[in-house]
Amino acid sequence: MPILELSSMLVSTESNWVSNDESSSLSSRQLSEYLNEEIQRIVMPTIVFIGAEMVLDFVGNLLVLYVFGFRYHVCNCKYFVLSLAVIDILTTVTTMPGEIITQIYWYVYSANVVCKVKSFCNVFTLTAEALCLLAIAIDRYRKVCRPFAWQIKTKYARIICLCIPVVALFIALPTPFLWGERSVLKTYGNYTVNVTICEKDEKFKSTNYPMIYISMVNGTICSILALMFSSYMYVFGKLVKERRRSKRNKQTCKVGVKLPVKTSPSSNSSREANRLDETSDSGVIDQGETSTTSASLKPTQILSATQKADTPMPKHLISLRKSSTRLGKDKCVRRKTLIMFIVTLAFIVTAIAYLILVSIIASENDILQKLSDASKAVYFFFLRLYFINHVINPFIYGLLDHEFKETMQMLVIRVSSRRNCCIQSRRSEN
């Protein structure tokens, strides 16, 4: 609608906007729609960006569910990754469409239930993903830094995955009560009009309850992020030490010292040590991950095994035997740890930015409403940038996880072969 034509239908005093006159009410509604169309054009890149994230997120995490659910070996990472994929798909079908609706109808919002559900899912998925990544960080820490202490077994990993949504539900429960539709005064030139937005609920817009709640959520999430980051620091410190020790052992091997090869019962003890190294902490053989247990074997443990067979071994040969049993064993655990760390790092960066931006909305000063539409568009883009961590997880698995990559390659070959068979059958029929 042209601005001159619109202005001719408006009155210039705020009292006329809130009057009961039918023409004034009509003009107020038209101005709200005009303002909404204006902000739609400005935030359209953000809407397109969220739509692209939805498509990539949904397709990528469906593939993750297929590979890790039906083709992946049994291990703790399998269940934790499946939990992350379910959370990501839940975000795709709830939060992202809700955010698109919010962007499209920013000034004429009339779906209170959608607003509350979207706000609840925002906090729920954020908390659930943080808890899941914390469980992964603890699992990585126990496997690398404490290989002989207690470990998270597979059945307990499944229980943890079931408990995570319950805890997230409890934390996110107040959100639908504090967030919802509310009316605000929007000034456009010399005119002022009431618009309806999805933000703090009308009942709590003048209170500090939303800010208190968001501060509590921020404190909880930040504590989880700190635990995750510190766990990975210990893990990488341990891996760096093991790598340096491996280099020193390789240099010692170059001197010319060879390990004695025995077929006596001592070899059975060596096999037992290797079997311990190949057995995951979940109690089953983990074909895709071997821990650095052999790298952490103490000399007394190896000596006890050799003394049973009455074949004493010098200390320098014990060190070389540890090095030989470790070669190739720690590559997979390093790779999986790197994968989970990259996923966690992406989440930490985007989650911190998201929590800071949400705190602006929850503040009592209504900072967001004081921004121009162009500034709001920038704000909305960075707020929705948080969704990127749901999208990149399948790409990280595809690039770094060999088992995931091989399964995807086999799937592509199978689909292409079936396609070629269908084409050939059609040609033969013709």
CATH of the domain at 72: 1.20.1070.10
Residue 430 domain-assigned (yes or no): no
Long-range residue pairs from 352-359, CB within 8 A, at least 24 positions apart, any chain: 352/222, 352/225, 353/382, 353/385, 353/386, 354/126, 354/383, 354/386, 355/214, 355/217, 355/218, 355/221, 355/222, 357/382, 357/383, 358/214, 358/383, 359/211, 359/214, 359/215, 359/218
Residue 129 domain-assigned (yes or no): yes
- The answer on pLDDT for 135 being more than 90 is yes
- Separation between Cα atoms, residue 286 and residue 154, nearest integer Å: 11
Q: Are residues 346 and 319 both part of a single domain?
A: no
- The answer on pLDDT for 419 being more than 60 is yes
Residue 79 domain-assigned (yes or no): yes
CA angle 88, 93, 99 (to 5 degrees): 95
Q: Are residues 99 and 200 both part of a single domain?
A: yes
Q: Are residues 148 and 213 both part of a single domain?
A: yes
Residue 336 domain-assigned (yes or no): no
- The answer on pLDDT for 278 being more than 70 is no
Residue 334 domain-assigned (yes or no): no
Among 1-5, 87-91, 217-221, 422-426, the range scoring the smallest mean pLDDT is 1-5
CA 415 remoteness from chain centre: 29
Average pLDDT, the chain: 75
Say how many C-beta atoms besides its own lie within 10 A of residue 47's C-beta.
Answer: 18
Which residue range(s) make up the domain with 290? 236-326
Q: Please state the rounded mean pLDDT for residues 156-181.
A: 92
Residue 332 domain-assigned (yes or no): no
pLDDT, position 353: 85
The answer to whether 164 and 128 have CB atoms below 8 angstroms apart is yes
Confidence of residue 308 (pLDDT cuts 50, 70, 90): very low
Of the two residues 280 and 392, the one the predictor is more confident about is 392
Paired residues of 108 in beta bridges: 196
The answer to whether 106 and 244 have CB atoms below 8 angstroms apart is no
Among 326, 361, 391, residue at a domain's last position: 326
- The answer on pLDDT for 126 being more than 80 is yes
- Separation between Cα atoms, residue 119 and residue 220, nearest integer Å: 18
pLDDT digits (tens, 9 = 90+) for 173-220: 999 999 888 887 777 767 777 888 888 888 887 788 888 898 899 899
Q: Are residues 386 and 403 both part of a single domain?
A: yes
- The answer on pLDDT for 73 being more than 60 is yes
Among 300, 326, 352, residue at a domain's last position: 326
| DSSP 8-state code for residue 192 | E
- The answer on pLDDT for 159 being more than 90 is yes
Q: Are residues 26 and 124 both part of a single domain?
A: yes
Residue 199 domain-assigned (yes or no): yes
What is the number of domains present in the chain? 2
Confidence of residue 1 (pLDDT cuts 50, 70, 90): very low
Of the two residues 62 and 412, the one the predictor is more confident about is 62
pLDDT digits (tens, 9 = 90+) for 223-257: 999 999 898 888 888 888 877 877 777 666 655 54
Q: Are residues 261 and 369 both part of a single domain?
A: no
Of the two residues 181 and 269, the one the predictor is more confident about is 181
Q: Are residues 246 and 231 both part of a single domain?
A: no
pLDDT, position 307: 47
Cα atoms in the Cβ-side hemisphere of radius 13 Å centred on 212? 8
Q: Copy the structure tokens of residue 147.
A: 């290989």
284 — alpha (psi -120 to 50), left (phi > 0) or beta?
Answer: beta
Q: Are residues 225 and 284 both part of a single domain?
A: no
Q: Please state the rounded mean pLDDT for residues 305-330.
A: 50
Among 122-126, 209-213, 261-265, the range scoring the smallest mean pLDDT is 261-265
Q: Are residues 98 and 243 both part of a single domain?
A: no
Of the two residues 284 and 258, the one the predictor is more confident about is 258
pLDDT, position 389: 84
The answer to whether 158 and 132 have CB atoms below 8 angstroms apart is no
pTM comes to 0.74
Among 282, 299, 326, residue at a domain's last position: 326
Q: Are residues 363 and 293 both part of a single domain?
A: no
Q: Are residues 17 and 106 both part of a single domain?
A: yes
Helix (H) or strand (E) holding 58: helix 22-66
- Separation between Cα atoms, residue 419 and residue 430, nearest integer Å: 17
Q: Are residues 378 and 256 both part of a single domain?
A: no
Among 13-22, 167-176, 178-187, 301-310, the range scoring the smallest mean pLDDT is 13-22
- Separation between Cα atoms, residue 4 and residue 284, nearest integer Å: 75
Residue 88 domain-assigned (yes or no): yes
